[in-house]
Structure 1
Amino acid sequence: MSDVPLSLRSPNVYALVVACTLLTAALSFWGALSLGSVAFVILMVVVALTGIPHGAVDHVVAADLYGLTSSWSDQAKFYGVYLALMAAYGVLWLISPVVSLGLFLVLTMYHFGQADLAYWNVPSPWHPLLYASRGLLLLGLPIVAFPEVVDPIFAAIADVQVSDWPGVTTASTLLLGGLVAQHALSLGLLSQVGTASGKDVGRELFNTAVLAVLLITAHPLVGFAVYFGLWHSLGHMMEILRFFQRHGRTATFGYFYRKAALFTLISFIGLGGLYLINEAFGAQDQMIALLFILISVLTLPHMLVVEAMYQRERPETAPAAG
C-alpha cells in the first residue's frame, strides 16, 4: 500500500461517496427519506461523526502552520484569537441576524468550494470565482427546490422568507437550470488557468450532475447532511491527513480522531442537549436554526485556518500561456 493518505479522489473512496449520494437521491425520490424527523436525525449523526471532527483539529493545523508550541503563551495566542472570532460573530448574530445570515452564506459558499476544488490550483484572482460558483450551486439548489422547507428554518434564524426571493417560486425550473449551468461554465473556463486536467474537468462535471440530483430530490437537511458529511467533511479530513504527513505527523484516522477527541466530545454534549430539547419541546425548526448558527460561529475561525493551509500551496499568478 502507498504511504500517501487517501483523498476523496481515491477510486474506492470516490466510488463509495458517489454510490451513497445516488442511493440517497433514489430513496428520496421514492419518498423514503422525506420525513422531517428522519432528516433531523441524519443531520445530527453526520455532523457528529464527520462534520464536527473535521474542524476539531484546527489547533494542530495552526501549530504546524505558525510554529506554535505547547507553551501557555502560544496556546493562549491561538485559543484567544479563535474564541474572540467566535464571540464576535456570536455578537453579530444578536445585533443583526440578517447580516449574519448573509455573511454565513458567503463564507459557506467559499469554504465549500475551496474544499472541493482547491486541488485545481487556480491562481489569484480567479480561485474565489471558482469556489463561489461551486458554493452557489450547493446552497442555491436546495433553497430553490424546497423553499417551503427552507422558509421556516431561515425565518427562525433571521426572519427571512426565501420564497419571497425573485424567481424562487415563479421561475424555479429556470433558476435550477441556471445554477447548474453557471457552475459547468465556470469549471470549463477556469480549468484553463489552473492545473486541472481533462480528467479533472470531466470528474467535476460528473460531480456537478450527481450533487444536483441529490440536492434537487432529497430533503434539504438530508442533502446537506450527505454533502457536508461525505463530500466536504470526510474529504477535508483526508486532506488534513495529507497535511499531517507533509509535516511529519502520523497520517491515520486513529491519530486524527485522537487529536479531535476533546473538541468533538464537547460538541457531542452540545448536540445531545439540542436533541433532548427538540424531543422535549418539539421546536425542530428552532433547534435546526440554532444548530446552523452554532456551525456558522465555528466556521469563521475554522475557515481562516483552512485558508492559511491552502495558501501555502496555491500559485499566486496565472501560468504563462504557451
Structure 2
Amino acid sequence: MGKTHSKHIFHQVTFGVIALIINLLFPEFIESVRFWFLGIVILIIGMPHGALDHIISYHSFPDKSEKEKKIWFYGYYTLIMAIYALLWIWLPLLSFLIFLAITLYHFGQADAERLNINPTAKKILQYSRGLTIVGLIVYGSEPIYISEVINVITGYDSLELISFVNNYYVVPLSFSLVYPVAYLFAAVFVAEEKLPLVYHADAIVVPALFALADPFFAFAVYFGVWHSFNHAKTMLKYLRKRNLDVTMAWFYKKTLLLSVMSYIGLAILYFITQAFGNEKLLIALLFILISVLTLPHIFIVEMMYRKY
C-alpha cells in the first residue's frame, strides 16, 4: 500500500477516535446536533460523490457518441430509479431488505477496494465489513429509535427479529466482532503479506464507532470521512487513468449543478415533513430518497471497479 493511502487511513482512524471520544463525553450535545451534522456531511461530500456518475459513465464508453452516452446514462438512471420507487410503494419491506443488501455490498466494496491485498482477502473484508456496518446501523446503540423509523418505512418492527435474545447487547457485540474477526482471519491465513498497523486500527475503530456512538452521528462520520471520501478519490483515480486532469477542485465544480438540485429536493422534503411535525417521517422519507438515488449509483460504481 502506498504512503498516501496509509496517510488517508491514518487520518480517518484519528478522526473516528476523536469523534467517538467526543460522543462519549458529550452525548447530549451530540444528540442535539446529530441531524445538522449529518446534513452538513451530505451537503459537503455525500451528494457530490454521487453526482459524478454521469462523468464516470461517459468516460467508460469512449467509442460511443456524446448523444449515445447521454441517452444511455439518463435513460438507465431514470428507469432504475422509477422501478425502485414503485417497488417501495408496492413492497416496502422487500425494498428495505434490498437496500440493506446493496448497502452492505457497496460500503464493504468501497472500503476494501482501497486496500492493497490479494483478491480473496479483499472479498472476505468486503462482505464482513459491510455486514458489521449494516448490522450496527439497525442494531446499534439506539435500537428502539431505529426500529421506530424502520416501522414507519416498512410497517415492520425490526426488534421482533431478535425477540428471542435475552440480553440485547449480545446482538451489537456480535455484529461488532464480525469484521475484526474476519480481518484477523484474513490477516493471518489469507493475506499474502503482512498488513500495516493502520489497517489493524481501522478494523477496530469503525465497529466501535457504530456500536458505541449515536447512530446518526456515527453514520455521518463514517459516510463522510470513510465512504464518500474514499469513493471520490477512487473515481478521480479512475478518470486519471482515462487521461483526464482531475482534482478535488474539478470534482466539486463538475458536481455543483446536480448537487444543488439535490439540495433543493432535500430542502423541499424537509419543509414538507416539518409541516407535519414528524421527525421519524422525515428520516424515513430521506432514507427512501437516498436508496432510490443509490441503486443506479451502485451499478455505475460496479462498472467502474470492473473496468478499473
Query: Does TM, normalized by the shorter one, top 0.5?
Result: yes
Within the candidate set 176, 182, 204, 1:180 is matched to 176
Partner of 1:171: 167
Q: Is the 8 A contact 2:6 2:198 kept in 1?
A: no
Shift of the 77–231 alpha-carbon distance from structure 1 to 2, 3 Å rule, reads same
Q: Is the 8 A contact 1:149 1:220 kept in 2?
A: no
Q: Is the 8 A contact 1:168 1:175 kept in 2?
A: no
Within the candidate set 228, 242, 247, 2:242 is matched to 247
Distance 2:101 2:50 in 1: 18
Matched to 1:97, the amino acid is P
Shift of 1:217: 2.0
Matched to 1:175, the amino acid is V
Once the two structures are superposed, the pairs formed by residues 78-117 of structure 1 within 5 Å of their partners are 78-117=73-112
**Which sits farther off after the overlay, 302-311 or 210-219?**
210-219
Shift of 1:172: 3.0
Once the two structures are superposed, the pairs formed by residues 27-176 of structure 1 within 5 Å of their partners are 27-32=22-27, 36-67=31-62, 71-120=66-115, 122-123=118-119, 128-145=123-140, 146-166=142-162, 170-176=166-172
Partner of 2:230: 235
Shift of 1:301: 0.9
Residues 1:20 and 2:15 are matched in the alignment: yes
Within the candidate set 270, 277, 280, 1:282 is matched to 277
% same residue: 32
Q: Which has the higher helix share?
A: 2
Shift of 1:248: 1.2
Distance 1:23 1:147 in 2: 24
Question: SS of the counterpart of 1:160?
Answer: coil
Q: Is the 8 A contact 2:16 2:209 kept in 1?
A: yes
Which digits, 9 at most, give the CA deviation of each residue in 1:54-91, with x for residues without a partner? 01010111111122656333211111011101111111
Distance 2:214 2:63 in 1: 43
Partner of 2:297: 302
Partner of 2:257: 262
Matched to 1:63, the amino acid is Y
Q: Is the 8 A contact 1:28 1:218 kept in 2?
A: yes
**Which sits farther off after the overlay, 302-311 or 159-168?**
159-168
Partner of 1:316: none
Q: Tell me the C-alpha RMSD between the 2 structures.
A: 2.5
Normalising by structure 1, we get a TM-score of 0.85
Shift of the 79–122 alpha-carbon distance from structure 1 to 2, 3 Å rule, reads farther
Shift of the 85–6 alpha-carbon distance from structure 1 to 2, 3 Å rule, reads farther
How many residues are aligned here? Answer: 304
Shift of the 174–204 alpha-carbon distance from structure 1 to 2, 3 Å rule, reads farther
Normalising by structure 2, we get a TM-score of 0.89
Matched to 1:228, the amino acid is F
